[in-house]
Amino acid sequence: MALPDDLPTVTLTGTYTHPDGSPMKGSVSVTPTPGKVVAADSGLTIQGRAKQKIGNDGRVTLTVLATDAPGINPANFTYAVKIAFPDAPGDEFTIELPAAAPNVQLPAITPASPSDGDYVVITGPEGPEGPAGPAGADGEPGPAGADGSNADAEQYTDDALATEITRANAAYDPAGSATAARTAAINTAAGDATTKANNAQAAAISTAAADATAKANAAQAAAISAASSDATTKAGNAQAAAVSAAATSAASLYLPNAIQTVDAYLAGATPSSPRFFGHRGGGMVRPEHTLVGYRACAAMGFALEVSVNVDASGELWCLHDLTLDRTTYQTGALNTYTTEEVGQAVLTNGRTLLGPGWTDQRMVPLRQVLDEFLGRIPILLEPKGNDAVVPTQTLLDTYYPHAPRSVVWKAHIGTLSLPWAKSRGYRTWVYLDSNTTDAAMDAKDSLVDYWGVSTTFTDLRITQVKDRGKPVFAWPVYRRSQVARLTGLGVVGMMSSDPRYVSTNLPQRTFSRWGLAVKESGGTPTLDYDTAYALVFGEGADAGWVSINALPNQSYGLGTYSPIQGSAAGYRIAFDMKYKVLPGATVHGGYYFGKASDDPYRFTTANATGGYHLVMRASGDMQLYRHTSGVTTGTQIGSTIATTAPVADTAMSFQIDVTPTTVEARRTDGTGWTTGPIADTTYRGGYHGLSNGSITDLATRPYWRNLIITQL
C-alpha cells in the first residue's frame, strides 16, 4: 500500500558494482529512528523498516516518507540507513530526508572512509625552454634519467658553463690566460647555487610537511568535535522526540479523542440556552462529591464540578471542605488522615440531608474520577486547600496530558494558580466574592475565560460582571426561579446542586414515594446544603410521613410535582396531614399552592410571588387564605369551616380543587367539611408545597404523607 498522496516522499537511488564493473548483490533498508511515526490527520502510523534488494544490474530504488512531512509526530525525525553486501563491508548511518530534495543519490550521502597516512607532493623549479630541434630517430631505451629537479638543474648548469667557457676563451682570451679564473668562479657559483637549492628544497619539504601535519591534526580534531557535538545534539533530539512520541502515543491509546470537550459543551451557550454543571456532583439530591453523584450527573449529560483536598499521604480526594466534619461521620482535617484511613474508615453522611433511605457512600479519589469521566463529560476542577494545588497540578501534568481538552481549572479570584493553568492550555472559571473589586478583576482578566458570580449578588453587580464581555456562570442554583433571574441578567452557565430539576420546566411525578425516605429532585428548602431546613423522613411508626424540622414559619417546595399540569377543568391536590403532638388551638399548619414561581413561600412573610394557603388549626377550623406578593399578611377567602378537632398522631385527609374560575378546600376524613367553590382567579401558578404555618414549637409541627396530583 502506497503512502497517502498528501504526504511528501523522497526517493533514494544508487548503483553498486565490483571493481571490474560487475553488479553487486545486497540490500538497502531505512528505519525511522523514533521507532514509530504518527500522521495524526491521516490516521496513519509508520514504523518498522523499508527494505529493497539491489537489482541484477546493481541498481536500487526506495521511496520513503519525507522526514519533515506536515502533521507528522515527532516532527523532523531521522532515518537509520543500512546498506548491506554479502561479499563486502556495508554502511550504516543516520540521515534526514526533507521534502525539498525529493530525489537523493545514496552514494552521495554515504560517508566515505578516509585513506591511511599523510602525503605531500613537492615540485622543483622549472628550467628555461630551449629551441625546438628536429625530431630524431627513436633510439634504444637509455638508462633511467634523473628523477629529481635538482639533478636536472645541475646538468643544465654544467652544460651552460662549458659552452660559456668555450665562447669566452675564443672571444676574449685566446691565450687562455683567464680560463682558470673563470673556471674557478663558475665552480664556486655552481656550488653555492647547488647548496642553496638543496637547502631551499629541504626547508620547503620540512615546512610543507609541518603545515600538512598541523592542518591534518586540526582537521581531525575539528571533525571529531563536530561529529561528537552533532551526535550529542541528534541523540538529544532523538530522545526528546521519542519521549514526546511515547507520551502522545500513550495519550492516544488511553483516550484517542475526547467525547465531550469543554469548548463543544459550551458552544452556543446563551441566556436562552444556558449550560448546567452538577455542583458538588448534584449535592442537594445525592451525597456530595461521591461517585454516585458524579455518575448520575454524567448520565444525564451535565458537566461535573469537582472539589479536591489532599490527605496526609498525598492522595487527592473529592471533598469540598478542608475537614471531614460536615459531610462524613469523622471529624478533623483531611490532611491528618492517611490514604488507608480515608479509604477504609470514612463514610459520607448524606443520610442526614437526603434521607435515611440513602446508603452511606465512600469518599472517592480524584484519580478514579478522572479515569472514569475525563473526556466523557467536562469537569470543573478545583483544589480547595492550598496544600492540594501542587499535587493536583502534578497529577494532571504527569498522568493526564490531554486533560485541557475537557477540564476547566476552577479557582477563586485570589488564586496564584492561573498562570500555570493557562500555560497548559486549560480554560479557567474564576469566581468572585462580595468584596472583589473591579481592579482585582482587571489584574486577572487576561487569565480568565469565564467569570463566576454568586446567586447572592445584586442584579447590578451581576450585570457589571456580564458587561465585561466574558461568559458568566452562577452558583449555587437549585431553584428554577433562580435560573429565570440569572438568565434575565445575561448569565449563561448554572452551577446547580439539582441540575435535573432546574434544567427543565416540567413536573417529574404526580404522586409521592416518601416511604422510600430518599429526597426527591426538585425539593426546595429555604436554604440548600443545610440539614436544619431539610425534609425529615419519618421512620418506624412514622414511615411514609415527612415534616419540616425548622422554625419559624418554614416551608418546603415540592418542585418534583411542579408546575402542576391540570386539564381544561383544572387539577386536584390530595394529601394526609397530622400533628403528632397537638399545638395550641389557634396554631396551624397546612399547604400552599397557586404560586407562579418556586421562590420560597413563608407564612407571615412578604414573599416574592403570591399564592394561596390552606390552614388547619388545632381547634379544627379549616380556612383558605390568599397572599399577595410583597405583603406579610394573608386575606381569607371563603368561610371558616369548623371540622372535628385533630387527634394527636392521627391522620386527616384533604383535597384542594383548582378550576379556571374557583378554588375549593375539603377535609375528607369526615363529611360535609368543604369551603365550597370560591370564585377567585387571582393565582393559577403551578408551584406548591408544605408549610409549618404558625407553629412555634417543633414538637407540634405538622406531618404529611400520600401526596397525589390529579387532573379534574
According to DSSP, residue 356 is labeled T
Among candidates 522, 535, 531, 432, which has minimal Cα distance to 478? 522
Percent of the chain with pLDDT over 70: 83
**96 vs 563: CA distance, rounded Å:** 71
Structure-derived torsion over alpha carbons of residues 42, 43, 47, 51, reported in degrees to the nearest 10: -40
For 443-502, the pLDDT digits (tens) are: 999 999 999 999 999 999 999 999 999 999 999 999 999 999 999 999 999 999 999 999
174 pLDDT higher than 70: no
In this structure, of 246-255, 486-495, 505-514, 703-712, the range with the lowest mean pLDDT score is: 246-255
Q: Quick check: bond before 74 cis, omega within 30?
A: yes
641 pLDDT higher than 70: yes
Residue 262: burial class (beta carbons within 10 Å; 0-12, 13-18, 19+): buried
Among candidates 69, 58, 97, which has minimal Cα distance to 81? 97
Residue 331: burial class (beta carbons within 10 Å; 0-12, 13-18, 19+): exposed
pLDDT of amino acid 232:
75
For 529-542, the pLDDT digits (tens) are: 999 999 999 999 99
pLDDT of amino acid 577:
98
Average pLDDT, the chain: 87
Specify the CATH class of 514-711 in words. Answer: mainly beta
Among candidates 495, 532, 486, 537, which has minimal Cα distance to 516? 537
User: What are the beta bridge partners of residue 588?
Assistant: 617
CATH fold, domain 1-112+216-254, is Immunoglobulin-like (2.60.40)
| Confidence tier at 220 by pLDDT (50, 70, 90) | confident
The interaxial angle of helices 366-373 and 386-399, nearest 10 deg, is: 40
CATH fold, domain 262-502, is TIM Barrel (3.20.20)
For 14-59, the pLDDT digits (tens) are: 999 999 989 999 999 999 988 888 886 777 888 889 999 999 999 9
| Confidence tier at 114 by pLDDT (50, 70, 90) | very low
Q: Where are the beta strands (DSSP E) in 279-345?
A: 303-310, 316-318
Domain boundaries, the chain: 1-112+216-254, 262-502, 514-711
For 364-387, the pLDDT digits (tens) are: 999 999 999 999 999 999 999 999
**Mean pLDDT, residues 315-335 taken together:** 98
Residue with more model confidence, 256 or 697: 697
Residue 117: CB atoms within 10 Å: 6
516 pLDDT higher than 50: yes
91-95 and 79-84 strand pairing: antiparallel
| Confidence tier at 609 by pLDDT (50, 70, 90) | very high
